[in-house]
Amino acid sequence: MSHSAAQRLSKFYDRFSGSDQVLIMINADPDAIASAMAVKRLLWRKVAGVTICNINKIKRPDNLAMIRLLGVDLLYAGELDQKEYSRFVIVDSQPDHHECFAMFRPDVIIDHHPETCAVAGYLDIRPDYGAVASIMTEYLRAAKIKPSIKLATGLFHAIKTDTGNFERQTLIEDIRAFQYLYRFINIHLAQKIERSEISIDFLKYYTKALKEKRIRRGRLYAHLGKVPNPDICVLVADFFMRVESLKWSFVSCIFDKTIVVVFRNDGIHKNAGRIAQKAFSSMGSAGGHKSMARAEVPLGAVDSKVDFGDDKRVLKWIINCIEKRL
The yes-or-no verdict on residue 2 having pLDDT over 70 is no
- How many Cβ atoms from other residues are within 10 Å of residue 86's Cβ? 16
The yes-or-no verdict on residue 261 having pLDDT over 70 is yes
Residues in Cβ contact with 261 at an 8 Å cutoff, skipping those fewer than 6 apart: 233, 250, 251, 252, 276, 280, 294, 295, 296, 297, 318, 322
Plot region of 255 (φ>0 → left; ψ -120 to 50 → alpha; else → beta): beta
pLDDT at 113: 87
Which CATH homologous superfamily contains domain 3-194? inorganic pyrophosphatase (n-terminal core) (3.90.1640.10)
| Strand duo 49-54 + 21-26: pairing | parallel
Which of 287, 275, 289 is closest to 318 using CA atoms? 275
Residue 1: pLDDT band (50, 70, 90) is very low
Measured in degrees and rounded to the nearest 5, phi and psi for residue 110 equal -125, 120
Task: Looking at mean pLDDT, say which of 167-171, 186-190, 241-245, 270-274 comes out highest.
Answer: 186-190
Residues in Cβ contact with 116 at an 8 Å cutoff, skipping those fewer than 6 apart: 94, 96, 97, 287
| Average confidence (pLDDT) over 68-75 | 96
Looking at every residue in the chain, the average pLDDT score rounds to 92
Residue 308: pLDDT band (50, 70, 90) is confident
Summarize pLDDT for 13-50 with one digit per residue, the tens: 999 999 999 999 999 999 999 999 999 999 999 999 99
Interatomic CA distance for residues 301 and 46, integer angstroms? 46
Interatomic CA distance for residues 129 and 127, integer angstroms? 5
Residue 233: pLDDT band (50, 70, 90) is very high
Residue 3: pLDDT band (50, 70, 90) is low
The yes-or-no verdict on residue 146 having pLDDT over 80 is yes
The yes-or-no verdict on residue 9 having pLDDT over 70 is yes
The reported pTM is 0.71
Residue 86: pLDDT band (50, 70, 90) is very high
The CA-atom distances, in angstroms, between 208 and each of 2, 169, 203, 214, 243 are 50, 30, 9, 12, 17
Which of 48, 55, 63 is closest to 91 using CA atoms? 55
% of the chain beyond a pLDDT of 90: 71
| Average confidence (pLDDT) over 164-187 | 90
Domain segments of the chain: what residues?
3-194, 200-323
The CA-atom distances, in angstroms, between 37 and each of 51, 179, 200, 232 are 10, 19, 29, 25
pLDDT at 114: 86
Please say whether the beta carbons of 127 and 118 come within 8 A. Answer: no
Rg for the chain (alpha carbons), in Å? 20
For residue 102, what is the DSSP state?
A: G
Please say whether the beta carbons of 124 and 8 come within 8 A. Answer: yes
- Domain 200-323 adopts which CATH fold? Diaminopimelate Epimerase; Chain A, domain 1 (3.10.310)
Label residues 50-72 b or e (16+ Cβ within 10 Å = b): bbbbbbbebbbbbbebbbebbeb
For residue 164, what is the DSSP state?
A: T
The yes-or-no verdict on residue 122 having pLDDT over 70 is yes
Label residues 242-275 b or e (16+ Cβ within 10 Å = b): eeeebbbbbbbbbbeebbbbbbbbebeeebbbbb
| Residue that wins the pLDDT comparison between 84 and 290 | 84
- Give the sign of the dihedral formed by CA 263, CA 65, CA 125, CA 79: positive
- End-to-end CA distance of the chain, in Å? 42
Q: Which stretch of 179-183, 214-218, 287-291 has the lowest confidence by average pLDDT?
A: 287-291
